[in-house]
Chains A and B, each alone.
Chain A
């Protein structure tokens, strides 16, 4: 089953990267949001350093939501998704492949982008490994939930806004844990429990989110 799965991922990557700047726009957007936050706080070093973790997480959420539409709604609009659903692949595999390509095009790029943003927010180098690990779980989780949100909103009137309204409440536990992990790392406190809880959330969503998305995709297509 892995062959067709990676074929879908490869196709998404080729389409997006072949369009030139789209992958870079996500990184640029992320760094831009971080800078706007820092500037809106008046550029005060102490204040920005204290808010750093929250800024990184907010920027990560916003950039991940930005990429969702290009991965799902484009394929829905041109009928690719219907053809994929007609193929012998199970809907679970199709959705999982889509979630993986969304992560590769969004979340995975944010990890190096966070390295660029760290000095802008005065994050000490010692806290970086924890931040990156926690962002890794956070972005993977966001790709899973985002895929579910995208599957739910396919064919709706304002998918963009709706997606944000639906995904953000479901995302709050991960956001809280990520903020706590980063705050603990900055204060040189133990970070293990937060990282383990983040990993647990991700692992719980790993089978469930594609399953729910697959159900919504098939019912959605059947009634359209």
Chain B
């Protein structure tokens, strides 16, 4: 299974189906999710209307962690199986993940201002997410810094695996330290500490974010594979001419 999609041609065939499907599901997800989040769900009894920021903030935060973890797993896969598409995946997903992290931080600041009275605090959760953004940006800078793209991908893969230690720190920062940021409401052993009228819009938005990510990554991977083929073709043509 892992080997199967290491072949870029097979992957492209799959992506041609998955990309439009994910794009359609993403459009539906955002349509339904935004309506549920902005109109159909009740305002919070304490936070009133500002609670609606959560429907963007929380899915973006989930995606920020998910994308980084998936990139690191892809990096390991690339190392172990010399999996071409996995190597390219990390490169393709990085800017998307960085954008999700930025959305998370910006909406967090917009939410923090009315609720906590501050845009920013050097709190464990916020600091570790900021470090995550720096890790994304460092990875993007490193991958792009080599004349030979493969060297950039190799160096970036090691950086991704090293940076993976930050992920549990972010996840559990609200449990380990007594922070301004609230602890997790959903991933608890007992029932989620969130009412179903707010849970469903949140999950719909999370689904829409995920589909957006799948569609964007498929598109970026297709572009990257095409670009590589074009580069090879250019070299061949240059070789024939010489």
Do A and B pair up? The answer is yes
Number of interface residues, chain B, beta carbon within 8 A: 24
Cβ–Cβ contact A212 & B137, under 8 A? no
Residues 101-155 (chain B) with a chain A CB within 8 angstroms? 127, 131, 134-135, 137-138, 141-142, 145-148, 150-152, 154-155
Indicate whether A219 reaches chain B with its CB closer than 8 angstroms: yes
Interface SS, A side: helix
Knowing A148-B162, A215-B158, say if A156 contacts B135 (CB, 8 Å).
no
Among A158, A169, A215, point to the contact of B138 (Cβ < 8 A): A169
Indicate whether B95 reaches chain A with its CB closer than 8 angstroms: no
Cβ–Cβ contact B131 & A172, under 8 A? yes
Indicate whether A111 reaches chain B with its CB closer than 8 angstroms: no
Nearest residue, chain A, Cβ from B128: A172
Indicate whether B163 reaches chain A with its CB closer than 8 angstroms: yes
Residues 208-223 (chain B) with a chain A CB within 8 angstroms? none
User: B residues within 8 A CB of A176?
Assistant: 127
Q: What's the interface size class on A, roughly?
A: 20 to 34
Cβ–Cβ contact B145 & A224, under 8 A? no
User: B residues within 8 A CB of A220?
Assistant: 151, 154-155
Indicate whether A19 reaches chain B with its CB closer than 8 angstroms: no
Shortest Cβ gap from B31 to chain A (Å): 37
Contact with A along B193-226 (1 / 0, CB 8 A): 0000000000000000000000000000000000
Indicate whether A63 reaches chain B with its CB closer than 8 angstroms: no
User: B residues within 8 A CB of A223?
Assistant: 148, 150-151, 154
Cβ–Cβ contact A152 & B159, under 8 A? yes
**Interface residue ranges, B against A (CB under 8 Å):** 127, 131, 134-135, 137-138, 141-142, 145-148, 150-152, 154-155, 158-159, 161-163, 166, 169
Q: Which of A6-14, A36-44, A100-108, A160-168 contacts B (4 or more CB under 8 A)?
A: A160-168
User: B residues within 8 A CB of A168?
Assistant: 134
User: A residues within 8 A CB of B162?
Assistant: 148, 170, 212
User: A residues within 8 A CB of B135?
Assistant: 169-170
Cβ–Cβ contact B146 & A152, under 8 A? no
Shortest Cβ gap from B131 to chain A (Å): 5
Cβ–Cβ contact A224 & B163, under 8 A? no
Q: Would you mind naming 25 contact pairs between A and B with Cβ atoms under 8 Å apart?
A: A148-B158, A148-B162, A152-B142, A152-B159, A153-B155, A155-B151, A156-B152, A157-B145, A159-B145, A162-B142, A166-B142, A166-B159, A169-B135, A169-B163, A169-B166, A170-B135, A170-B162, A173-B169, A176-B127, A216-B155, A216-B158, A219-B154, A220-B155, A223-B148, A223-B151
Cβ–Cβ contact B151 & A157, under 8 A? no
Contact with B along A191-221 (1 / 0, CB 8 A): 0000000000000000000001001100110
Cβ–Cβ contact A170 & B141, under 8 A? no
Cβ–Cβ contact A216 & B161, under 8 A? no
Among A159, A215, A224, point to the contact of B151 (Cβ < 8 A): A224
Max count, chain A CB within 10 A of own CB: residue among B135, B152, B155, B159: B155
Max count, chain A CB within 10 A of own CB: residue among B148, B158, B163, B169: B158
Cβ–Cβ contact B150 & A165, under 8 A? no
The 3 A-B pairs at the shortest CB distance, nearest first, are namely A156-B145, A169-B134, A152-B155
Cβ–Cβ contact B147 & A157, under 8 A? yes
Shortest Cβ gap from B111 to chain A (Å): 24
User: B residues within 8 A CB of A156?
Assistant: 142, 145-146, 152, 155
User: A residues within 8 A CB of B150?
Assistant: 223
Report the bound CA distance from A159 to B151 in whole Å: 14
Nearest residue, chain B, Cβ from A161: B141
User: A residues within 8 A CB of B161?
Assistant: 212
Cβ–Cβ contact B141 & A162, under 8 A? yes
Query: 12 additional contacts, CB 8 Å, given A148-B158, A162-B145, A220-B151?
Result: A152-B142, A158-B145, A165-B134, A165-B141, A170-B163, A172-B131, A212-B161, A216-B154, A216-B158, A220-B155, A223-B150, A224-B151
Cβ–Cβ contact B146 & A155, under 8 A? yes
Report the bound CA distance from A148 to B134 in whole Å: 17
Report the bound CA distance from A176 to B145 in whole Å: 29
Nearest residue, chain B, Cβ from A219: B154
